[in-house]
Amino acid sequence: MSDAVDYAKRGEIAVITVNSPPVNALSAAVRDGLGAAFDKGQADNDVKGMVLLGGGRTFIAGADIREFGKPPQGKPFHDVLVQMENSSKLIVAAIHGTALGGGLETALCCHYRFAVPSALVGLPEVKLGLLPGAGGTQRLPRLVGVQKALDLVTSGDFVPAPQAKELGIIDEVGDDLLEGAVAFAEKLVAEGAPLKKIRDLPCEAEAGVFEAYRKANARKFRGFLAPWKNIDCIEAAATLPFDEGIARERALFTDCVTSPESAAQRHVFFAEREVAKIPDVPKDTPMKDIKKIAMVGAGTMGGGIAMNFANAGIPVMMLEVAQDALDRGMAIIERNYANTVKKGRLSQEKMDQRMAMFSTTTDFADIGDADLVIEAVFEKMELKKEIFAKLDAVMKPGAIMASNTSTLSIDEIASATKRPESVIGMHFFSPANVMRLLEVVRGEATSPETIATAMGIGRKVGKISVLVGNCFGFVGNRMLHGYTGEGTFVLEGGALPQQVDGAIYDFGLAMGPFAMGDMAGLDVGWLVRKAKAADRPSNEEYGGTIPDRICELDRFGQKTGGGYYDYKEGDRTPIPNAEVQAIIEQVSKDKNIARRDFDNDEIVKRCLYPLINIGAQILDEGMAMRPSDIDIIYINGYGFPAYKGGPMHWADAIGLDKVLADMKRFHAEFGERWRPAPLLEKLVAEGKSFADLQAA
Ligand code: T1G
């Protein structure tokens, strides 16, 4: 046995335990250990049956993702599975925790499966840009049918054990993992139960089911590779003999595992876990217990933010200075929940529970006992400082005071209080009850406990918390400024909003910069530009001319029925507007720019390369901890496609030397705003990538 796999006996039952924390991933050592253990059980005449389980907190949670892209070592996974399936002695998988991917595929090569009620099973490979490459796509549909298998492999959803039993994936659910599984194995052996091989089951499908599934999911799977390959595999299970289906699955798995999409999605998997690692805030930093939230501001952001906490069962007191604003805010919250109930995604009972989490007041004195207060009022520093001075006076000692500001200085806001160590930025993204990203902004004086608490409560309410530094726009919006700004220069150069948005949509973002501006509201940026007008460097080219002129017509986007585009009542579909086109053409004329044609490739580089350049500046200034944090911010806050891995991973995939060459060309043509970041020049000069920076 290897250290990774333990062999023991309970009477006539061999108990084989995988011990490879943290998740018993199928590393080479585990595969070798399993091979040896099953050989041993097979050779032991006293052994009549075997139980396979995971030590620690879970059954096998999948292949070892860290091994992909490296030379194969150890016993091939397929050989271990064939050895198990062909065992002449009955094998029971004993599942707790999560049996995922290769873990569930291993269980499907056992003759029976036992699970505790809390166990979860699934084939989430698609989230890594992969497919179940060890027979999962051939065995699962033989158990649960083609339609259910299609849903499971393309969603990667986890299935609770009781439901998995109903589906036929699990044979027995019982409370005690080892005792239950051994007793189940002994019973099966005593009954002379057959050695069930899923491969021997039939697999049929109605005509047209795969084409229909492809058509129904075209938009959802747009740009991804793996979902389509998963569908092909399930189709193979229904149309080919088992061994040919396995061969097809292997070929399609190779297509996936060697694809840039999967490299990107595997990068994202690890990046999502890196964000929680903060060098000067150790994992064991004490977090404050957040039992009550106060929300200052019940507008669009305040209401959306508050819903996250109510959804997590944390009481929220909403504060507005004017009763009518408070009533309006609560009405919007209620309407949001009611809409979800109407769509069948929330029960009325759950809605009532969530609404019961809310209390309201117009008096600051009422919120002093909250453990965390979040301010989400208008983006004006004077107003925020006035509010934080009041909070400083009323909040109990140790309360955390957070601002949802999207660009303003946390240090300056903290200066309005006597406890800057308790002040932090918690920047949510609109719509705040939907978007997963939370930028946690550390001030100069913010304490480790305050940081750890804000990061932790963010995760608790379902956000992915990323710690960022206190610069203008922090990370996401600072980079966004470069992206949207360049978009308006492309308009001045000759393109129209619908062409730019179309190119960015085809690249893979959920929407382009102009549709996004109309959704978020053009007035926010307009205010910021006006506030910054006085100190804008004279040599900086101004990209706000077009949006300013649109705002001067009171066209702020969807909320006013029109911005860059027009919108029909109750419909978010952007409709090009002739008046806006005239403004764009007039601005080109005023700036003596001869309008010309653009192709999508240039639009993508012009709009998205600023993300890379500003991202490099941000890293250089230490405003983001690592390149992959920036990737997580852009995927979860701005809809950057996961199958591109985020702007920094995407830049590495293109090749930083190629990116730099284009930037130098743009710098020569468009001036200062395209000056390549020194870090980018340095990495290229050293033949390095952002990933090398990450590893440093
Ligand atoms: N391989 C390597 N490391 C893994 C891993 C894996 N499969 N899963 C988790 N880790 C690491 C993770 O990076 C983190 O490391 C630590 O374990 C704890 O993870 C052939 C090809 C199991 C639900 O996709 O969904 O099988 O940061 O923080 O929140 O068909 O991990 O501590 O250094 O996420 O309790 C299919 C992926 C693989 C499951 C636990 N399996 N993992 O969640 O802990 S492909 C998956 C998860 C495959 C076969 C195919 C979750 C979890 P560190 P964690 P958690």
According to DSSP, the residues that pair with 295 across neighbouring strands are: 318, 374
Yes or no: say if 293 and 309 are a contact pair by the CB < 8 Å rule.
yes
pLDDT of residue 531: 84
Instruction: Tell me if residue 105 is catalytic.
Output: yes
* Cα 23 to middle of ligand 1, angstroms: 7
- Tell me phi and psi for residue 177, to 5 degrees: -55, -65
Tokens in use for 337?
């929940």
* Cα 531 to middle of ligand 1, angstroms: 46
Co-location of 457 and 553 in the same domain = no
pLDDT of residue 550: 97
> What does the DSSP 8-state code read for residue 401?
E
**Residue 57: inside a domain, yes or no?**
yes
CA dihedral angle for residue 522, residue 525, residue 531, residue 537, rounded to 10 degrees: -130
Co-location of 539 and 519 in the same domain = yes
pLDDT(501) > 80? yes
Q: Is 102 in the pocket of ligand 1 (CB under 6 A)?
A: yes
Share of the chain above pLDDT 70, in %: 99
pLDDT of residue 381: 93
Q: How many other CB atoms sit within 10 Å of the CB of residue 258?
A: 11
pLDDT of residue 518: 95
**Residue 157: inside a domain, yes or no?**
yes
**Residue 277: inside a domain, yes or no?**
no
Residue 431 banded pLDDT, cuts 50, 70, 90:
confident
- Tell me phi and psi for residue 429, to 5 degrees: -120, 140
Average pLDDT over every residue of 348-373: 97
Co-location of 100 and 160 in the same domain = yes
- Dump the DSSP string for 76-117: -HHHHHHHHHT-SSEEEEEE-SEEETHHHHHHHTSSEEEE-T
**Residue 226: inside a domain, yes or no?**
yes
Per DSSP (E only), the strands in 376-517 are 400-403, 423-428, 437-441, 464-468
Place of tokens 């989230």: 127
Q: Of the residues 213, 238, 257, which one is the last residue of a structural domain?
A: 257
- Closest ligand 1 atom, CA of 130? 21
Distance CA 436, CA 423 (A): 22
pLDDT(696) > 70? no
User: 125, 235, 249, 375: which is the annotated catalytic residue?
Assistant: 125
Q: Of the residues 472, 500, 528, which one is the last residue of a structural domain?
A: 472
Q: Is 25 in the pocket of ligand 1 (CB under 6 A)?
A: yes
Co-location of 438 and 521 in the same domain = no
Tokens in use for 87?
């065992």
CATH code of the domain containing 124? 3.90.226.10
Place of tokens 């591109």: 644
**Residue 278: inside a domain, yes or no?**
no
Q: Is 302 in the pocket of ligand 1 (CB under 6 A)?
A: no
pLDDT(695) > 80? no
Co-location of 451 and 490 in the same domain = no
pLDDT of residue 1: 59
Average pLDDT over every residue of 279-285: 94
CATH code of the domain containing 444? 3.40.50.720
Place of tokens 């849903």: 151
* Cα 103 to middle of ligand 1, angstroms: 11
Q: Which of the listed residues 24, 30, 65 should we mutate to test ligand 1's pocket, taking the one with most ligand atoms within 8 A of CB?
A: 65
pLDDT of residue 121: 98
Q: How many other CB atoms sit within 10 Å of the CB of residue 679?
A: 18
Co-location of 374 and 415 in the same domain = yes
The predicted-structure confidence for 25-42, as pLDDT tens digits, reads as follows 999 999 999 999 999 999
Which residue is closest in CA terms to ligand 1's atom 34? 273
Name the helix (H) or strand (E) containing 513.
helix 513-520
- Tell me phi and psi for residue 384, to 5 degrees: -65, -40
Which residue is closest in CA terms to ligand 1's atom 40? 23
> What does the DSSP 8-state code read for residue 15?
E
Q: From 202, 445, 198, 430, select the one nearest 308 (Cα to Cα).
A: 430
The predicted-structure confidence for 378-400, as pLDDT tens digits, reads as follows 988 999 999 999 999 999 999 99
Tally the domains of the chain.
Answer: 3
The predicted-structure confidence for 157-205, as pLDDT tens digits, reads as follows 999 999 999 999 999 999 999 999 999 999 999 999 999 999 999 999 9
Yes or no: say if 564 and 517 are a contact pair by the CB < 8 Å rule.
yes
Which residue is closest in CA terms to ligand 1's atom 27? 273
Average pLDDT over every residue of 232-246: 98
Average pLDDT over every residue of 145-151: 98
Tokens in use for 383?
């107003």
Co-location of 224 and 315 in the same domain = no
* Cα 240 to middle of ligand 1, angstroms: 32
Yes or no: say if 680 and 616 are a contact pair by the CB < 8 Å rule.
yes
Co-location of 467 and 481 in the same domain = no
pLDDT(462) > 90? yes
User: 12, 67, 105, 552: which is the annotated catalytic residue?
Assistant: 105
**How many residues comprise the chain?**
696
**Residue 51: inside a domain, yes or no?**
yes
**Residue 25: inside a domain, yes or no?**
yes
329: Cβ–Cβ under 8 A, 6 or more apart, which residues? 298, 299, 302, 303, 318, 320
Distance CA 579, CA 564 (A): 9
**Residue 84: inside a domain, yes or no?**
yes
Domain assignment of residue 159, given as a range: 5-257
Q: Are strands 112-115 and 293-296 parallel, antiparallel or unpaired?
A: unpaired
Co-location of 9 and 151 in the same domain = yes
Q: Is 283 in the pocket of ligand 1 (CB under 6 A)?
A: no
Yes or no: say if 320 and 326 are a contact pair by the CB < 8 Å rule.
yes
Co-location of 236 and 316 in the same domain = no
Tokens in use for 259?
């694809």
pLDDT(3) > 90? no
pLDDT of residue 603: 97
Residue 533 banded pLDDT, cuts 50, 70, 90:
confident
- Closest ligand 1 atom, CA of 105? 30
Which residue is closest in CA terms to ligand 1's atom 49? 102
Q: Of the residues 442, 472, 502, which one is the last residue of a structural domain?
A: 472
Co-location of 312 and 436 in the same domain = yes
* Cα 330 to middle of ligand 1, angstroms: 40
Which residue is closest in CA terms to ligand 1's atom 43? 23
CATH code of the domain containing 534? 1.10.1040.50
* Cα 99 to middle of ligand 1, angstroms: 11
Residue 57 banded pLDDT, cuts 50, 70, 90:
very high
Co-location of 599 and 631 in the same domain = yes
The predicted-structure confidence for 607-644, as pLDDT tens digits, reads as follows 999 999 999 999 999 999 999 999 999 999 999 999 99
